[in-house]
Structure 1
């Protein structure tokens, strides 16, 4: 079967395979590969790295802030100032133009300041760390979604392989029956219409197998896409349908706090924490801020550019600056009220999320139970259809049955096979959805 699948895939490959390595993967291997190569998870990892830098950026606000400055001026026209004439013995009301300053001026300085206390900075620092936690949980959510997508795609390939196996079995036994019927027709034992009936069934099965082979090739490509693997890479699945256990779910009803294992609930909790931190930040606006400042400047002045830097006029200072908020038209009060409402809304959303997750789990539970019962019923129906076909063939060979009865039994078996395949796929997919609903996929 794997050989047939490989032939189908080779036929549909449009590029030369650039990787000669053979990937013989189990479900877990495919998931692990996706964790390393799927774009959504790679981007989630980058988001975590970005959040780490955001924490460092916020931390840097509380470190000393140092800046340098430099300036140079060439006064093409030195500014003129008018001084009262009586300063120079002139009549009152007159002014004497005087130029102060020199043609060339330059300065170099360095300034530093340090936060000593700022409530909003302390809250912002904690918020940046919570933001990093949010990025980590978003990565977990991406991994869960990728896990689900890869698992479902893997199961789809396995089910398509099983469908191909059943089709091949039906084609082989129908080919044998058709050859026998043709010989009987040549001997005059059966009519031409009997040959035509079975030929129609045989041709339909051949077409179904060709369609299934094409679908199987596409399903392999879908799986590789979900994994983040180039679709032209060779991939062989190691797990079989028999390796998959459809678990009993009797113990799931006893877990009443399963929703806490859901990443959606965890993300909602982180959202509340961020809203609470924003409320603290708004309240911190009522607190004073205190900063330390220091500055040193070297000034140079001269009418000759060549002598400009021969004489230095330095200045420096250190000091504290205190900012005490007193009244801002109740803006801070209303901002605090808005943040309080945001916290209440996020808490309501969390409660609604919990109820929604419980409902989702109940739906997944019912769907899974129904899927198992349907699958078991389809297995029994398929076994019965095989037995009916076997008995119909014996009766036909013994001359007590008709070819129409055999053809009808063959059609019933094909229908049972199709329903069994659909039931198998539905049961496997509902199992994945159930595991996700109860937070069992990490």
Structure 2
């Protein structure tokens, strides 16, 4: 018994600790999106890519800054090099040579080298290209945020729709349960047949089963939303808001806006790519220009036959100068690079036209799909209201003895079907709204 009590206490403590570590969030749609911007993996990686591009720009700038390096060298000539000089210098016979050794056993050198690029056309163009590359990474970051925004909206709306369907089922189950209760009472008093009760029981059980399925789908949708925003799945997420808060008004002006393509990040990305290709062409052309650099170096040389006295005497050397490189002929390589860059630029301009055309088509398709879904939603909402009215009338007729239980069960079945159709139309309308907002550039981050 003591062991059982200890285990129970430990289990309770562990359970309490686990409960304390569970974090609960209550988010609106906008809060879900902002959370995703700070935690979603794709967004975080895109932000890192921005920082990499920024470091790349600074790396390119560094090429034009002074380049300084130090060097040190130590040599121990185990065998000092021997040279042959004419013996005549020492009074020897002409045509003969005398071996002599120049230098000392130990030598050491320390120095510093400095260079500064003064002019290089490729470097100047490279600076411009690096900044444009940084701009490209920023636009890619924006595109990632837009894609994340769209995914979060769709997952969020799925949760709202499941909540709406659950509310409809709860209301349906409540009124059907009341009707079932009344029918049982009528049957017990001999005013209704047992088959009437059985029919309603079947409908009631089906609705309860469907409600449990929707609850599981709701839990799954909630998990999907947490995944889309980068939230740990063990956290608790409570979705605030209702379907009624979403504006599903049909917006005609979107189709009439012929400049909406300019708001799309895909168009901006293609424009930036064209700028990069233009700079690439400029860079290859700049390779025909000469380059000029300044350099300088200073060193101390130490020599001695005795290692202990190696650094007693030093001999300084200093040199400064200019280096000019003038390209003359490179086997037509530069000309062919320029030709390739021109063709790449032409392809980019063709792509820009294609992107513009594609975006305009996307806008029109999205607008048409949205209008169709709104029309379908309005129709299914009307059908739902009509199904409710038919059920109400059928119940009154049955209670007054001028209708049959079959009419009531058929009306109840029709109501369930109308609710399902309404929910499907509602989700389609919400998704198509997101697609339209994205297509028209309204979702821009």
Specify the TM-score bucket, using the shorter chain as the normaliser: over 0.9
Alignment correspondent of 1:258: 260
Q: Residues of 2 paired with 1:311 and 1:349: CA distance?
A: 69
Deviation at 1:21, TM superposition (A): 5.5
In the alignment, which of 197, 202, 205 is matched to residue 203 of structure 1?
Answer: 205
**Structure-2 separation of matches of 1:184 and 1:38:** 59
Structure 2 unaligned residues grouped into runs of 5+? 1-16
1:32 aligns to what? 34
For residue 136 of structure 2, the aligned residue among 127, 134, 137 is: 134
CA deviations over 1:311-343 (Å, ceiling 9, x no partner): 111111110000000111111000000000000
> 1:221 — aligned with what?
223
SS in 1 for 2:192: coil
Match of 1:82 in 2: 84
Question: Aligned equivalents of 2:171 and 2:148: distance in 1?
Answer: 35
- Secondary structure of the residue aligned to 2:311 is helix
Q: CA deviation at 1:81?
A: 2.3
Say whether 1:71 aligns with 2:61: no
Partner of residue 111 from structure 1, selected from 92, 113, 118: 113
**Deviations along 1:352-382, whole A, 9 cap, x unmatched?**
0000001111110000000000000000000
Equivalent in 233, 236, 239 of residue 238 of structure 2: 236
Cα distance in 2 for partners of 1:403, 1:52 equals 74
The count of aligned residue pairs is 428
* Residues 74 and 108 in structure 2, CA contact (< 8 A), matched pair in contact too: yes
Q: CA RMSD in A?
A: 1.6
Structure 1 segments unaligned to the other structure (5+ residues): 1-14
| Cα drift, residue 182 of structure 1 | 2.6
Who is 1:9 aligned against? none
CA deviation vs aligned residue, 1:142-185 (integer Å, no higher than 9, x gap): 11111111111111111100000011111111112222233333
Match of 2:159 in 1: 157
What CA deviation, in whole Å up to 9, does each residue of 1:91-118 have, x standing for no partner?
Answer: 5554433222111000001000000000
- Distance in 2 (CA, whole Å) between partners of 1:314 and 1:411 is 103
Cα deviation code 1:1-29 (max 9, x no counterpart): xxxxxxxxxxxxxx945656542222111
Verify the 8 A CA contact 1:38 1:226 in the aligned structure 2.
yes
Q: 1: distance between equivalents of 2:249 and 2:51?
A: 38
CA distance in 2, matches of 1:107, 1:349: 59
Which residue number in structure 2 is paired with residue 409 of structure 1? 411
Tell me the distance in 2 between the aligned counterparts of 1:349 and 1:107.
Answer: 59
Structure 1: distance between partners of 2:94 and 2:340: 64
**Aligned partners of 1:76 and 1:327: how far apart in 2?**
46
Alignment of 1:422 onto 2:419: no
Moved more, 182-191 or 402-411: 182-191
Q: 146-155 or 342-351: which moved more?
A: 146-155
* 34, 42, 48: which one aligns with 2:44: 42
Residues 22 and 234 of structure 2 are in contact (CA less than 8 Å); yes or no, is this contact kept in structure 1? no
Distance in 2 between the 1:290 and 1:417 partners?
Answer: 78
Q: Residue in 2 aligned with 1:185?
A: 187
Kept in 2: contact 1:17–1:233 (CA 8 A): no
Shift of 1:34: 1.4
| TM-score, structure 1 as length reference | 0.93
* Mapped partners of 2:215, 2:98: distance in 1: 103
Q: Structure 2-normalised TM-score?
A: 0.93
Measured after TM superposition, the shift of residue 84 of structure 1 is 4.0
Corresponding residue SS for 2:100: strand
**What is the alpha-carbon distance in structure 2 between the residues aligned to residue 54 and residue 30 of structure 1?**
33
In structure 2, the residue matched to 1:8 is none
Number of the residue aligned with 2:175: 173
1:189-238 Cα distance to aligned partner (Å, 9 max, x none): 33333222222211111111111111111111111211112222222222
Match of 1:124 among 123, 126, 129: 126
Cα distance between partner residues in 2 of 1:291 and 1:49: 31
Cα shift at 1:434:
0.4
